[in-house]
């Protein structure tokens, strides 16, 4: 699922080469994605009032639901 997040985020930012995502299993069912982007791109992945971040989370939640999991996306700053 990491690939999906990476695929979307890389299209959103100015510096795709600085996109870095780590995936951690919190338990059997929960995956945490820690998303790191260039400082100048932070605003792009968060969006006004966090709208972009929320939309990314919704899409990731859909993908993980299909796989019987839940996912958490954390944006590191």
Partner 1 sequence: MPDSRNLDEAINLYIKSLEEEQRNGKLIEGKKIGSEGENLTGVEKIASFVKKVVEFICLGEEVKVKIDPDANKISVYGTDLGIAIGRAGKNLQALEYIVNLIARRKRWVSGEVVIDIKNYKERKFEKLKKIALRMAKKAIEEGKKIALKPMSSYERKIVHGILSEIKNVKTRSKNKEPNRRIVIYPLKEKDAT
Residues that bind partner 1 (CB under 8 A): 3-4, 7-8, 11-12, 47, 51-52, 54-56, 58-59, 61-63, 65-67
Closest distance of CB 46 from partner 1, Å:
12
Among the listed residues 20, 34, 46, 45, the one whose alpha carbon sits nearest the alpha carbon of residue 72 = 34
- Kindly tell me which of 8 and 38 has the beta carbon lying closer to partner 1: 8
Closest distance of CB 64 from partner 1, Å:
9
- Kindly tell me which of 65 and 76 has the beta carbon lying closer to partner 1: 65
- Kindly tell me which of 7 and 27 has the beta carbon lying closer to partner 1: 7
DSSP β-ladder status, 20-25 and 70-75: unpaired
Classified as helix, coil or strand, 35 is strand
Q: Could you tell me how far CA 6 lies from the centroid of its own chain?
A: 7
Cβ distance 10 to 58 under 8 Å? no
């Amino acid at each position: 699922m990491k690939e999906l997040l990476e695929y979307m985020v890389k299209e959103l930012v100015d510096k795709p080469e600085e996109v870095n995502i780590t995936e951690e299993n919190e338990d059997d069912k929960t995956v945490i994605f820690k998303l790191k982007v260039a400082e100048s791109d932070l605003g792009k992945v968060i969006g006004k009032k966090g709208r972009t971040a929320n939309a990314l989370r919704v899409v990731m939640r859909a993908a993980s639901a299909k796989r019987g999991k839940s996912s958490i996306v954390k944006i590191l700053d």
